[in-house]
């Protein structure tokens, strides 16, 4: 039986080796990476400190990290991921930032890494499309740790797949997603990837993973985040921000 605090390894094999396919089946994800970066740029203008530390959870191949690096003059970034195949691509894609010391990549699971760092270590914790992969209990523990490691006034920003609260509307959205997968992968004659992504979607949608928007916001409030805002919402894609009091 999977324990609710278990870190899973969902990104290995073809789905990880050819992760760039995501751009084709979910163009909204690439746009979200841009939105996460843009939001941080705006937020930083109101933040009183000049040199900031940012923790990125689940950096994958570095698609969102690349947007965070736009602020490398002010922000030092630590990005953590537990998938070696994803991190190998990130190392290639982000070689310049790694060599210049603006970025540190850590292979670890998000919760273990968070638990290893002291209180109030980061000004910003950012993530894109990682938290929806987590088991419910694990996700709540991660969010508790995020709050702990943020400095007072620090920002949590997450662009992710948040299930639509209305179950019928959510089902309709998911069915459209599945149709899109078939269109893209059958056109490419890649039934292997089609299978992998559909299996992955079943995991996202399962009862112990699905991240429903309103419940997710309520859990964040209960944990102690303040100024919880929904900054963007389109289908299942949402940009959520919150602050540590």
Ligand X SMILES: C[S@@+](CC[C@H](N)C(=O)[O-])C[C@H]1O[C@@H](n2cnc3c(N)ncnc32)[C@H](O)[C@@H]1O
Q: Does 64 bind ligand X (CB under 6 A)?
A: yes
List phi, psi (to 5°) of 154: -75, 160
Give 28's Cβ-side CA count (13 Å radius).
16
CB of 21 to ligand X, least distance (A): 11
Which single residue brings its beta carbon nearest to ligand X?
Answer: 60
Evaluate whether 14 touches 196 at the Cβ level (below 8 Å): yes
Q: Does 157 bind ligand X (CB under 6 A)?
A: no
Laid out side by side, the sheet with 103-107 consists of: 103-107, 75-81, 52-57, 122-128, 150-161, 237-243, 226-234
Q: What per-residue string of b and e applies to 41-73 under the rule 16 or more CB within 10 Å gives b?
A: eeebeebeeeebbbbbbbbbbbbbbbbbbebee
Out of 58, 123, 140, 196, point to the residue binding ligand X (CB under 6 A): 58
Taking contact as CB under 6 A, which single stretch among the options 52-60, 114-122, 170-178, 201-209 is the one that binds ligand X?
52-60
CB of 75 to ligand X, least distance (A): 17
Out of 26, 39, 78, 109, point to the residue binding ligand X (CB under 6 A): 109
C-beta closer to ligand X: residue 82 or 140 = 82
Interaction residues for ligand X, span 11-50 (CB under 6 A):
11, 33
Contact set with ligand X (CB under 6 A): 7, 11, 33, 58-60, 63-64, 80-83, 86, 109-110, 128-130, 133
């Amino acid at each position: 039986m999977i324990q609710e605090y278990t870190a899973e390894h969902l990104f290995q094999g073809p789905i990880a080796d050819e992760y760039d396919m995501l751009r084709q089946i979910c163009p909204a994800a690439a746009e979200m990476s841009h939105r996460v970066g843009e939001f941080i740029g705006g937020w930083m203008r109101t933040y009183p400190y000049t040199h900031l530390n940012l923790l990125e959870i689940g950096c994958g191949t570095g698609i969102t990290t690349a947007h965070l690096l736009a602020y490398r003059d002010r922000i030092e970034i630590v990005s953590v991921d537990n998938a070696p195949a994803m991190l190998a691509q990130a190392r290639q894609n982000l070689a310049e930032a790694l060599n210049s010391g603006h970025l540190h990549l850590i292979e670890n699971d998000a919760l273990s890494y968070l638990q290893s760092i002291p209180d109030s270590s980061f000004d910003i914790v950012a993530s894109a499309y990682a938290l929806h992969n987590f088991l419910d209990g694990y996700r709540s523990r991660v969010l508790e740790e995020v709050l702990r490691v943020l400095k007072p006034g620090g920002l949590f920003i997450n662009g992710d797949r948040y299930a639509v609260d209305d179950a019928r509307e959510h089902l309709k959205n998911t069915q459209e997603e599945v149709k899109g997968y078939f269109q893209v992968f059958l056109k490419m004659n890649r039934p292997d990837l089609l299978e992998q992504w559909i299996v992955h979607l079943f995991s996202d949608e399962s009862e112990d993973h699905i991240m429903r928007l309103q419940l997710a916001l309520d859990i964040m409030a209960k944990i102690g985040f303040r100024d919880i805002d929904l900054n963007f919402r389109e289908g299942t894609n949402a940009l959520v921000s919150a602050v540590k009091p």
